Structures are given as structure tokens and as C-alpha cells.
Amino acid sequence: MKILVMNGPNINMLGLREPDLYGNQNYESLCNQINAYAEENGIEVAIFQSNYEGALVDCIQQAYGVYDGIVINPAAYTHTSVALLDALKAVSIPAVEVHISDVSKREAFRQVSYVRYYCEKTIAGHGFDGYIEAMAYLKEKYGE
Ligand code: DQA
């Protein structure tokens, strides 16, 4: 099966940004863990990160007919982007929302998630493991 893992703004700053919330490992390490899990489990994975909302929308649109599942951490766009929600609805690919930190225990403005209206499941506060859990969920439900 083919899974697209998407990350929004500032996820490329992992390791540097607020390590108390997001840990000490960098973005490359996150990608390595995702790729290793995919390889061990017969998943074809592509990883995309952008700081631009439109680029993330383009990426979701281009996933149509290509990927069987999407793992998405929209980062700050989680709390603002109807465009990402609409793009997910448009392509209708099964998706799981992931957050490294436990957004439910953070500021009031982080309690809204637009993509959650579409995603089958939200995994938050499990660190990098959340991405692996999301891939495992999609593989179990939609994999051959
Ligand atoms: C985040 C949580 C968001 O509120 C924040 O804007 C991020 C990262 C997380 O992974 O915990 O950039 O999505």
C-alpha cells in the first residue's frame, strides 16, 4: 500500500523548536523512523513537509489516485485551515491526523482542528510514535 505522510509549518524545525514539547530529535530523524517502519512493513511511503498552506493543498490534490492513505500533521494549519479540510474531502483518501504534542492539554486556540472533521482518527501526544501508529492503523484497515 502507498501512504503519504505530510507535515505542516515548522515541523522542519524539530530538535530546535520547543524541545520540551516536541523533543530533541530533528526532522531527519522523524523521516528516518517513518521510512524504516514503512520498509519493514511493506509500505511504499512518501514524506512531504511545507511551511506553505497552498503547497500542502497542492500535495493533497496530487495524492488523488496515487496514495491509499494519508498521515497528516498540519501543525499550526490544524487550527486555521478550512482549505486543508476541503482538499482532504475532495480527494476522499483515508486520513489520520497526528500531533507530536498533546494538543488537548495546550492553549484554547489549539482545541479546534479543521482536518479532524475529515480524519478517521487523531493521535496526539505520542511524540514521533504517533506517525508510526497512524501508518499501522491505515495498513491494518486498508492494506492488502
Ligand atoms: C503540532 C501542534 C500544533 O498546535 C502546532 O502548531 C505545531 C505542532 C504538534 O505536532 O504537536 O506546529 O501539530
Three-class DSSP category at 66: coil
Residue 80 one-letter amino acid: T
pLDDT of res. 86 = 99
C-alpha dihedral over 94, 137, 21, 14, to 10 degrees? Answer: -70
What digits encode the pLDDT tens for the residues 101-135?
999 999 999 999 999 999 999 999 999 999 999 99
Overall size of the chain counted in residues? 144
Q: Which atom belonging to ligand 1 lies closest to the Cα atom of 110?
A: 4
pLDDT of res. 128 = 98
User: Per-residue pLDDT for 144 more than 90?
Assistant: no
Predicted confidence band of residue 92 (pLDDT cuts 50, 70, 90): very high
Place of cell 502507498: 2
- Ligand 1: does its nearest atom lie under 6 Å from the Cβ of 110? yes
CATH number of the domain enclosing 98: 3.40.50.9100
Which residues have a Cβ under 8 Å from the Cβ of 74 and sit 6 or more positions away? 6, 8, 56, 81, 84, 97, 115
What digits encode the pLDDT tens for the residues 11-27?
999 999 999 999 999 99
Number of domains in the chain: 1
- Ligand 1: does its nearest atom lie under 6 Å from the Cβ of 81? no
Instruction: Say whether 142 is catalytic.
Output: no
pTM: 0.98
Q: In what order do the strands lie in the sheet with 44-49?
A: 44-49, 2-7, 69-73, 95-99, 121-124
CB 30 within 8 A of CB 128: yes
Instruction: Say whether 52 is catalytic.
Output: no
Range(s) of the domain holding residue 70: 2-142
